[in-house]
Structure 1
């Protein structure tokens, strides 16, 4: 019980601290660019035309809604985090530790069993918390059209149910689930391969290095599965009655596969993945004096 409470408190603290970052990221993901590009320099020192980064974007939001505006959508996101942590722990507890012996901890069979348990727990948590995730995203996207349709948690639940029914609470669920599952299997499989074949067990600091490899492979797996996150978020706000989810800001997608194909065709599968060095997308027109680059 104490471990669960500490996990909830730690998760809630991280959620609060990262809320402005997620807010900016979501607005960038849906393609909202309120600020013109500026002249900057890339890592090679060459002048380039780049879009404003995280801090400039956050300052723009704060200049309109104040600093409190940077925490829009925090309540449903906190609910999602707390509920997800509880469900995840309960499912793992119900599944038990498994019947794989500790002396075969390096075997791939153990990796498969542990990853399967984790996959079931994460999927259950995602399924239960996705309605809160949808409300979080829509309350953020309201900034684009200056609407107030999804302001309170209870009012948002009533609005979604009245306009879209039960299915409205699960918009974008499939790509989110797929992304989580693929990322988990990639992370654990790559970590197993690195720990088993790339690292020498004779090194004294091997246990510490193996713990680092899990974090590195997790980061690599999340990068590979980022398109699923992007598509899921776009489908969660697609055609929901907000300006940010309808033309001319965003096209209407018939399915998440249609969204995926359109983003891939436009070359926007990584939109929002970077918040600091943001280059102007190819073919996109902005009010930027490119003659300054000569």
Structure 2
């Protein structure tokens, strides 16, 4: 119980601290560029035409809605984080209790359940996948409300302000399915990222690092973080498509033309982004070079 409470508190703290970053990221993902490009320098010192980065973008939001406006959508995101942590922990706890029952076996005699390291990785990854999928499925309605609360900044709407009002609005206009807009690409991205991360970490720890060296144990703990970052980079398009589908044609200016096309499905969204070369839009928040030949909508004026 104490561990669960500490995880909830830690997760809530990180959610609050990262809320402005996510807010900016979501607005960039939907293609909203309120500030014109400027001449700057890239990491190699060369002059390039850049779109405003995280701090300039956040300053623009604060100049309109105040610093408090940077935390728009925080309430449903906190609900999502707390509920997701609880569900994730309950599912893993269920598997742990099942293991104890299997190990004891009939007559309370402990069984030998030794397995290879590879089989153990598959077993643990499968259980983690089930726990994450259950948490994502249950918390996705809050995720949709969070995204729409943020995106309504573009058209200055107030359609998704309160949590209860947002739930009523989505149910009235879209039914139950409206709460799960963008769920499929989000689930696929989480599952693929998890399996990539754990598989790469297993390969690195087994074949690239020598466990006989004392410092290697410490390096193995870092390999999980490195492979996790690499896996999240590869599966970022799923995150982008999921967020776009969550706000697509929802009655907000940011989910309709000219800011965003109307997608018939998440596959249609994927294909269109791939065709435009926008699969990594919003992935970088600092060095944002203006893509050649791309058009951005900026407060009723077009930047080419």
TM-score range, shorter chain: over 0.9
Change (3 A) 1:163 1:99: farther
Runs of at least 4 residues of structure 1 off by over 3 A?
93-106, 285-294
Change (3 A) 1:97 1:146: farther
Change (3 A) 1:250 1:204: same
Contact 1:38 1:288 in 2 (8 A): no
**TM-score, normalised relative to structure 2:** 0.90
> Mean Cα displacement is larger for which, 36-45 or 115-124?
36-45
**Secondary structure of residue in 1 paired with 2:49:** strand
Deviation, 1:284, is 1.9
Contact 2:87 2:134 in 1 (8 A): yes
Contact 2:31 2:297 in 1 (8 A): no
Unaligned ranges ≥5, structure 2: 93-101
Deviation, 1:97, is 18
Change (3 A) 1:196 1:178: same
CA distance in 2 between counterparts of 1:56 and 1:96 reads 61
Unaligned ranges ≥5, structure 1: none
Deviation, 1:43, is 1.8
**Secondary structure of residue in 1 paired with 2:135:** helix
Deviation, 1:282, is 2.1
Contact 2:103 2:112 in 1 (8 A): no
Instruction: State the superposition RMSD in angstroms.
Output: 4.1
Counterparts of 1:1-294 in structure 2, within 5 Å, are: 1-92=1-92, 107-285=117-295
> Mean Cα displacement is larger for which, 67-76 or 274-283?
274-283
Change (3 A) 1:229 1:94: farther
CA distance in 1 between counterparts of 2:182 and 2:238 reads 9
**Secondary structure of residue in 1 paired with 2:296:** coil
Change (3 A) 1:200 1:97: farther
Count the aligned residue pairs: 294
Change (3 A) 1:20 1:125: same
Deviation, 1:107, is 1.7
Contact 2:136 2:187 in 1 (8 A): yes
Contact 2:32 2:297 in 1 (8 A): no
Deviations 1:102-157 (A, max 9, x none): 99996211100000000000000000000000000000000000000000000000
Deviation, 1:181, is 0.1
Contact 1:142 1:243 in 2 (8 A): yes
> Mean Cα displacement is larger for which, 236-245 or 88-97?
88-97
**Secondary structure of residue in 2 paired with 1:48:** strand
**Secondary structure of residue in 2 paired with 1:168:** helix
Deviation, 1:173, is 0.1
Deviation, 1:290, is 21
**TM-score, normalised relative to structure 1:** 0.93
Change (3 A) 1:155 1:100: farther
CA distance in 2 between counterparts of 1:42 and 1:163 reads 45
Contact 2:89 2:131 in 1 (8 A): yes
Deviation, 1:188, is 0.1
